[in-house]
A and B are shown apart, each in its own frame.
Chain A
Amino acid sequence: MLRLPRFSYLRPGSVAEAAQVLSEYGSRARVVAGGTDLLPKMKRGQMEPEVVIGLGHINELRGIRATEDGGFEIGACVTLSEVVASPELRAAYPGYVHAAALVSTPALRNSGTIGGNLCVDTRCNYYDESYEWRKALGFCMKKDGNICRVAPASATCRAIASSDTAPAAISMGATVVLVGPNGQREVPVESLYQDDGQFYMTKAPDEILTSLRMPSPGHWKSSYVKVRNRGSIDFPLVGVAAAIQMKGSLVEACRIVITAVGPQPLDVSQAAGALVGKEIDDTLLEEVATEAAKPARPLDNADLSYVWRKRMTRRAIEQAIREAAEVG
């Protein structure tokens, strides 16, 4: 039976209090919102905080608020289900809401939060095994070891970016608010991540992600395509967020962000330049998708073959662009 290790649970009543407690305990503490990522990882011995700081008791982290610029600010503890149930968000950001709806299962989305999904740990078939399994075969650099068991020559961990909502938020030009001991700062979602599966976030360990700020959707239409083993439950094997602006039947602008093909979501919008001023057709779409998929580096650390996942990256990009162009 998988039991949680010993820890104490703290209930700060405000963000300021949470930030203070977090900086006090440092690396001995972890914050928890829904717990759907942290708790299984603690059961498998991948994370071992002595203190778990619950954010769910903080009212200022809840709620979806329209902003003056025509966008929305979503509190970090808003659940994925609340996002899926919001008609305003669905109308403004269909890609982001669809990505939230594709995260795991309904019961998990009732606990799992939007802040937690942006911070979700990178995944790897090796790292995500139980403590006993990893101990028997030798630990990896992401936890307790010093080499990557998937790519032994790699200087960095190659675990996979697994947030569905991150690429969708990036494709809309969203930002997040981070609160730490030195006050708060706002950073683009894109710069929240880096090319290292172990230290995958640029956020300091004592900073708390408090909200997601989505700018006005303007004329951007958006979509998200997720490739996975089962139609529910599973994390992405490839994820593609596309956003597009059309003028009649011609493409005016297009953004593409791909995920689960390396340690961080990748903005590959540059490849979409070839679409601008043109109508979408099969040949052009295939050229763009081939170019956009070039930075994808799937390795043998997730379900199904990495060769197939690379091929599916192109197909998913084509599908995402088509779907974005079709939605209202």
Chain B
Amino acid sequence: MGNIGSREILRLSVNGRQHELLVKPYATLLEVLREDLRLTGTKHGCEAGECGACVVLVDGTPQLSCLVLPGQIEGSEVTTIEGVSNGSELHPVQQAFMDHGALQCGYCTPGMVLSSKALLDSNPSPTRDEINEALSGNLCRCTGYVSIIEAVEDAGRAMA
């Protein structure tokens, strides 16, 4: 082992693109995405695993990027909010959030969209309880949750 915390090479696939990066082993996945890859769609929130603003998909599963060390997920496929749309065509979840006005300041929205996408990918017609449960770790402090939940229901119908 070299000096404590010396940089090391990390191979990471993000939004379908392979990256080879020289990173600090103590930088979180959130920091690597935002600072090394300049993918600033993923947000810093509480940084302690309580708010869901930093949710990204790791092999299709929502995880808190503020609590993941990149070394832990080497070889996995990471999807951030930048990788959700198909070019300029919005993902059905994004479109439904727009149609329902399911955001105000937008800070929680990337995490909300990714948690919703993961739910709908595995369960296209979830019940309200299932939506509530899937989004229970994503805190919104301005719009309230009704329009968000309705947007997820609509997106499910659009994706079916």
Contact = CB atoms under 8 A, between A and B. Distances in A.
Interface of A: 1-11, 32, 34-36, 39-40, 43-44, 50-52, 54, 56, 81, 104-108, 110-111, 231-233
B63 interface: yes
A36 B137 contact: no
Shortest 7 CB-CB distances between A and B: which pairs? A105-B137, A6-B5, A232-B136, A9-B25, A40-B48, A2-B47, A107-B62
A107 B115 contact: yes
Contacts of B133: 106
Interface of B: 1-2, 4-6, 8, 24-28, 31, 44, 47-50, 52, 55, 58, 61-64, 66-69, 71-72, 115, 133-134, 136-138
A291 to B, nearest CB: 35
Given A43-B48, A107-B55, A107-B62, A35 B71 contact: no
Contact of B63 (A11, A50, A107): A107
Given A8-B2, A36-B67, A56-B72, 5 more contacts: A7-B4, A39-B66, A43-B47, A54-B72, A104-B137
A6 B32 CA distance: 15
Nearest to A7: B26
Nearest to B48: A40
Residue among B2, B28, B67 having the largest count of chain A Cβ atoms under 10 Å: B67
B22 to A, nearest CB: 14
A8 B68 CA distance: 15
A10 B137 contact: no
A291 B94 CA distance: 54
Contact of A1 (B2, B27, B47, B61): B47
Contacts of B8: 9
Contacts of B1: 8, 10, 51
A233 B50 contact: yes
Contacts of B115: 106-107
B26 A5 contact: yes
Contact of A106 (B25, B69, B136): B136
Given A7-B25, A8-B6, A40-B48, A107 B137 contact: yes
Contacts of A56: 72
A233 B48 CA distance: 11
A111 B68 contact: yes
